[in-house]
Every structure is written in C-alpha cells, then in structure tokens.
Structure 1
Amino acid sequence: MLSRGLLPAAVLLTLVLLAGCAAPDASPAGPAGGPRPPLTELTPPSDPRSFTGPATAVLGQPDIVAPPAPAQHLPVTVTDHQGTRVTVTDTSRILAFDMAGTLAATVFGLGFGDRVVGRDVSTAFPSARKLPLVTHNGHQLNAEAILALRPTVVLTDTTIGPWDAVLQLRDAHVPVVVLDPKRTIDTVGRLVRGVADALGAPAAGEQLATRLNGEITAKKAEITKVAPADPARRLRIVFLYLRGQAGVYYLFGKGSGADSLIDALGGEDVATEAGVEGMRPVNPEALVKAKPDVILVMTKGLQSVGGVDGALRVPGVAQTPAGLHRRFVDMDDAQILSFGPHTADVLDALARTLYSPGAAG
C-alpha cells in the first residue's frame, strides 16, 4: 500500500479548493493545432524507458469544434444523478460547471456553445475563454455571480461547491440538473448522453457519444501499435497530484480516472498495482518501492512546486527511476483528466510524449 488510510472525498475537495487547482485564464502551453502524423507512422522505441527528461503534452486541437445546434424537444423532465426530477423548459441561457470543465465542453460539443453564458475556471478552451467566471478562489461557486447571469438551466455535479450555492439556485427556481461526477475513459459516452437528455436533445447526445467512443477506441488501437507488447517493457506510470502552496501531494489510483487513462496509454498504473483506491497522500517509501518510470502531473501542479527541480524535492520522488531520469510528463490541468470531447486527443498527445517525445509538439 502506498499510504495509510483513504482521505474522505469531501476533505480532498476542500484541499483542492484551498489550493486553487484550476487551470489559469491563459492559453494552454505549447503550440496550438497543426497537422500531426498518425501515431502509427511514428517509429516506436524498442524500450520507451530509455527516454529521459521532462515533456509537456499539448493537444493538437485545443478548441471544441462545435456542430450546428441540434433539434430539441422541450420541455423535458429528467431524473438526475441524485434522484431529483428536474423539468427544463428553456435552454436559451445555459451554465455548466464542474471541477474539470467537462460539462461545459460537452455542451459546446453538442452544439449549444452559443447559449452558454458563463464558465467555471476549468472551462478554458478558446471558444469559452471570454465568458464571465462564476467561480472564485479556484473552484468555489459564487451564487450571486451565477444568478446575475440569469441562467435558464444549470448543469453541475458534486465535484464543485459549496453545495449551499446550488441550493440557492434551486430556491431561485433555476432548474439544476446534477450529473454523475465519475470521470474515466469508460464514462465519456454516458456523460454526453446525460447532458444531452437534460437539454432535450437525446438524438444529438447519442450521435456525439457514439462518435467520441469510436474515436477513443480507434486511438487506443493506435496506441497498442506503438506501446510495448511485452508486459515487462510497459512503462510503469504514476499520476501525482501536486499543490506546492498547500503542501498537498497525492497519488491517484484505482477509480480516480488516472488509472483508466494510464491503462489506455498502454502503461502500468503503479498506484493501482500497489492497492491505492481513489486518492491518497504520497507515502515516500512505498513510492520508491513502486518504481515508476514516468510521473504524470498537471501543468499547474508541477509549476506550483517549482517545476521539475521542485518536484524532485517531494519525499520519495528523486529516488524513483522517473525522478532519477527527470521523466515527468505534464499536461494542462483542465485537459488531462477531463474525459470529455477532447479525450481521444488527450490520449494522442500523451502517447506522443511517452513513446516519441520528438513528435509531441
């Protein structure tokens, strides 16, 4: 085991809020767009553990390419994730917010982006960046700012709070639909369908879910052609959540979403291998014993500890193979674990940094 005891989710959320874990109000680091050769055209190394040094994974297309607005059938009544029946009669002014920015990205992906009137701090893709913020101090909801935008429907989940702000919206007779907070490779289609159902566009939801799941399946198939077939040569990867300002250092393991990401990348999730469920504080001795070849981190998390040199001062990190070879792979906070419309592109960008760093930009 990599630590003693699992921190309650509510406590972890509080730490995240205090640490201000969101992506900044700035463009993602690195080049935007541009054609890239398919992964299958890359020449994979005989052993991807031979690479050294840090790398940043950058999306080939950082924006959401939205289709025209789909047909709708309103009013619609849905039963949300909490079992609450919600009737939506008007989608002319939409707000969608969660910890990862996935819900707003999904609304844009369905073709309703021109109806979104505000954003959370993690909704940072170019088409949404000029929208007014409804969060402050990281991911804390501001009920007054939300109500000032006169939303006709709100989509959210339980990853963002305080919950009193959500209750205040309901008291103001704003329809609030609470979606499933679980984010993994396998939940992409289900979340899309849930958002689409709440907006009275189930056919568009089915179409987008089918497309995204197909893209993910195809990308995973490409990755299998560049990742080592020999299990002994699979990259041993750990996802570390770093927030240096608050001294927060966590391992993400089974059920966190990071496990499904690492598996789709053809790697071995050493946290899950060691029995970590969800998110746990780093245990230095067990981290060293796990011997990760690569450490995945969020870009702002890495910056918060002072970059690679600072990350190497986190207890246990410098003594791992990843630490010895400075093998850190970072990606924008609002992208790496969002599991929304960008999922296939996230896999592509990360696979390039893992198996062909020279082709990652």
Structure 2
Amino acid sequence: MTVHASRKPVNVRTKSPPLRFGVLGCADIAWKRTLPALRRLSGVKLVAVASRDRAKAKRFCAEFGGVPVTGYAELLEMPEVDAVYVALPAALHHPWALRALEAGKHVMVEKPLATRLGQTRELVEQALDRGLWLTENFSFLHHPLHARVRSLLDGGAVGEPLVFASAFGIPPRSGDDIRYRADLGGGALLDVGTYPLRAAQAFLDAELDLLGSVLRIDRERQIDLGGSALLCSADGVSVELTFSFQSSYRSTYAMWGTEGRLTVERGFSLPGDMTARIRVERQGRAEEIAVPPCDQFAAAIRAFAGAVRDQEDFKAHSRDLLRQAELVEAISGRAHRVTVSPLAAADPRNSGG
C-alpha cells in the first residue's frame, strides 16, 4: 500500500464542468476545514447543504454558498448534485452513504467509512456495481509531508525498518460530544484510533496481522476511551498503535530501523499554515527536514475530484477501504477490555491540536 500523496497531485481542470457537491450534515469538521477548502478550489462547486435543522443549513450556505435543504433525502434527489460529502455521526455514515450511492452520487465520507466491516463491504459493492467513486476522508494522506517521509524511507533513511509506532490522542471534550455516544458510533477506536492504523498501512507495503489489542471501556457510556494494538507485517516489522480520548494532545508516528529513526511529531491534523517537520536520527546525528505548509483538506478534495473526473480504478482503492475496516473490526472484536471510571469533564486549559 502506498501513501496517496506520493502521486503527483491531481489538478481539477477548470475547463471541465465542476464537480458539484452536496453536503449531508453540519459538523464542525465541515465548517472549520472541509468547506473552507472546497470554497478555495477551482473545478468543484458547493451546490447544497442538508441538515435536519434548516437554520443550520442556512447558516452554512450563508458562509460557503449553495442552497439550504431540510432533510438528507431531499438533497439526494437533486439532479444537480454529482457528489456527496457525508459529515454525519459515525453511525449514520453507512445508511446515508448507501442511499447516496443508490442515488447515483459519488461519495466522500468522514472517517470511519462505516462502523462495521459488513457495512463497508456493502458500500464497496454498491460503488463497484454502479461505477461510482467512494472514499474515506483521511485527508492527512494527501499532505506532501507523508510523500516526503515515504521518499526518505525508500532511500534508506533508517535502514531496514524494524518497528513502526504511532499515537493519536486528544484531551477530553464536553460531556455531550457525539464522540461519547455509543448509539451514534462513538468511541476512540473509530475516531482517533483509525489514523495510526491507516498510517501503518500506508508506510508498510506488506499486509498486517493483529497480534493483540486492549480497549479501556467507560463504565457509564459503554464506549472505549482509548487503547492500543500490536500488529506485525509478514516480513517481521512490529506495529505499535495507541489512541486516546483521555490524554494531552499527541499526533505522531515514527519508523525505527537498523540504521536510524524517523519521527513526525505532528502527523495527522496539520493546520494549513503550519510547516511540517521530519526528524531523522542516524548514529548520533540528527537532521530536521521542513516540509512547506499545505491545506490537506483541499488536497484530499482535489484527489477525490480528480479520481471521479479521470475515472480512476476504484477497485484498487476499494481494497484499502476493506483492509482498514477488517483491521478495525479485529482490534475491537479481539480486544482485552478493561472497564474504567467515567471520562472526567473537559479541562478548558488542556486544549490541543
């Protein structure tokens, strides 16, 4: 498996008709990152925003354009919508992505693509049958930082890889955050846990097998507040993953090899104006490599629109979607579960990211 950003970035051709987006849901991620990025791009156009609360849809459209729509089904009936961006709680990703595919729309879904492996299979089968493009929005993969990392690893920066380690943790949020609701697909594994796992697959070409996992379960909410997993590649590279809703902010990965160590301290949620940095240590010498700022959300939208426009091979991409879902389900299904005290209230001084 390769890092998407290692390809030459796909530019959306302005001379072609724009890819017309409809948005399902008024999530913070759409307001703060996705729609500002979409607004800045040529070759794509926001047509409509749907919410169960019309006032929310109107607020989004006043800021970013398009027409407000009350209810998700009505947006899917709009012939002027080519592609749908699903920014709903995790438990609603599968039903509405499925309905969008059935309506003939290409679909970009915030992670996780679905909460169960069987649901992911159903979505992939629908996309394949209908000749549509479907993707899980791991926007970090489209930042040139990770292509640079891949180039360094391929060039022998650490020698033969031995251990890949990655962690993503965030401080507690307010108690009513949807991430804490079991009925909406909450939990750390399906949220922050998916990033280190996807990164491991991007940098290790061999298939990964799960050796063991641990989940910490909130006694009251019955969601996992964090955990860890140990995996291994066929050629013996160990993969150590950690994720948490209870920690100070951390977003990192590292590759340790026979001749050195490569570390990225800000791997998954880089702001568009932040310079990324890679630290390479070899036999007592350390080098820091700067990678210019990039709006990874804009890059992800460009890649999605380019895949639709150029009719790229979805079958190859579908294997990545399925393997991610298989490993997430294995980590959850085989985990040693430890019941812990309920998540403490958010501390406003402990902000991250």
Identify, as 1 or 2, the structure richer in strand.
Answer: 2
Larger fraction in helix: 1
| TM-score relative to the length of structure 1 | 0.32
Superposition TM-score, scaled by structure 2 size = 0.33
Of the two structures, which has the highest relative contact order with CA contacts closer than 8 Å and spacing of 6 or more?
Answer: 1
